[in-house]
Amino acid sequence: MYGLIRLPQDAKVEYLKDRIGGLAKDPGLKRAIDEAARWLCRAQDNSLSQDGGVASHYSLINGWSASYPETTGYIISTMLDYGKSQSHEEFRRRAKKMLDWLVSIQLECGGFQGGLIDSKPVVPVTFNSGQILLGLACGVREFGDEYLGPMRRAADWLVETQDPDGCWRKYPTPFAAPGEKAYETHVAWALLEAARFEPGKGYAESALKNIRWALGLQKENGWFEKCCLADPMQPLTHTLGYVLRGLIEGYRYTRDQRLLDASRKTADGLLTALREDGFIPGRLNQEWRGTARWSCLTGSAQISCCWLMLYEWTGNVRYRNAAFSANGYVRRTLRLDARCEMRGAIKGSLPIDAEYFSYEYPNWATKFFIDANLLEENIKKQTV
């Protein structure tokens, strides 16, 4: 209680709402998506580094952060998708501003730094470079050859630094626990996107080599070893969402039934962790049992995206229903009557004082939330 007393007022209020007040009413898809998209705009405008990137997070303790290159990279696709869904040119302009900033900070080797823009040391990192490559590939698709050179340089660096077995070990992030990471299939996805524009450069072969390596860490029930930032025996749903999305994208690129089967193993395991009200525990052990009483809302949104993609390919309504339930749960965590710094944003954890980005609203949580809800909206439109 002493710690609670010392918290800033906004943090106290949010703590008490989460611990005592419970979930809010579901605001519905359109309102939730619109408010979340506007919050991402505010995160870009209020970044402490004022460089065109997106602030990593808003903290109820310390306020806005500096820009985060990694997540700015994959926010680009969300800004473009949302802008097209609303015929709103502002979001296209914002995405281009993000792209131009990322190109300006690309390292000489072709890779990108880990951490926030003001983090030290400034060293190239595999995972972060892959997520920025996703944005660069979107830039080529949307704006043309202006971003083709930076995309090639980033993709070439990833291919050149990959180990022969498909794993990336040479350039890990200094901001997470050391060791091999199964969730770098999310980097493989980025190479597959680059391969759509440069099919003869070995990008797809490199990506699929990594996916095959990661499948060697998949258990029979779909759970993955070595799939967490810090605790591989009970990985975050966030990193499980990463590894699953990489598998799914491997299938989308190749249509290899083995990759679809592997994706469904993991997706089916995650189904068993879903509570009836849409809650998913923030950490899951190798039996798919929750080891946390809190939810990692980022991971819930990522998993929902994966379930909806699998529903579209398989027609299995269990995936659709699970995703709708998880999305509804996360929508009910939104505070739409809050100050603009919090309105429309997704918390790192629910309750807000739990382990994952405690008392913070990470930009990637809101990004994945928008993606998941746009997918739900599109599926519902198709069935009307």
From 280, 214, 271, select the one nearest 247 (Cα to Cα).
214
CA distance 356 to 17: 18
* Contact (CB, 8 A) for 373 and 381: no
Residue 339 has pLDDT above 50, yes or no: yes
**Residue 87 confidence (pLDDT):** 87
Residue among 224, 238, 324 nearest 283 (CA): 238
Q: What does the pLDDT look like over 133-183, one tens digit per residue? A: 999 999 999 999 999 999 999 999 999 999 999 999 999 999 888 899 999
Q: What is the mean pLDDT of residues 14-29?
A: 92
* Best CA proximity match to 247, nearest among 197, 187, 200, 287: 187
pTM: 0.97
Average pLDDT, the chain: 96
**3-class DSSP state of 125:** coil
pLDDT exceeds cutoff 90 at 251: yes
Distance CA 334, CA 65 (A): 21
| DSSP 8-state secondary structure symbol assigned to residue 293 | S
> For 2-382, CATH number?
1.50.10.10
Phi first, then psi: what are they for 94, rounded to 5°? -65, -40
- pLDDT band for position 262 (50/70/90)? very high
Alpha helices in the chain, H assignment, sequence order: 2-6, 9-16, 29-45, 69-86, 89-105, 126-143, 148-160, 185-195, 203-215, 237-254, 257-271, 297-314, 317-331, 363-382
Average pLDDT over every residue of 330-345: 95
pLDDT at 2 over 50: no
DSSP string, 182-199: GGGHHHHHHHHHHHTT-T
pLDDT digits (tens, 9 = 90+) for 78-89: 999 999 999 889
pLDDT band at 384 (very low <50, low <70, confident <90, very high): low
Q: Choose among 273, 280, 277: nearest CA to 298.
A: 280
- Give the Cα separation of 218 and 226 in Å (integer): 10
How many whole angstroms from its chain centre is CA 120? 23
Q: Contact, 148 vs 197, CB < 8 A?
A: yes
Confidence band of 21 (pLDDT split at 50, 70, 90): confident
Please state, for a pLDDT cut of 70, what percent of the chain lies above it: 99
End-to-end CA distance of the chain: 50
Closest CA to 145 of 136, 155, 134, 157: 136
Amino acid at 66: A
User: What is the rounded average pLDDT of the residues 197-222?
Assistant: 98
283 bridge partner residues = 236
pLDDT of residue 177: 83
Position 383 scores a pLDDT of: 78
Chain mean position to CA 103? 21
Pairing between β-strand 349-350 and β-strand 360-362 as defined by DSSP bridges: unpaired
Mean pLDDT of 354-369: 97
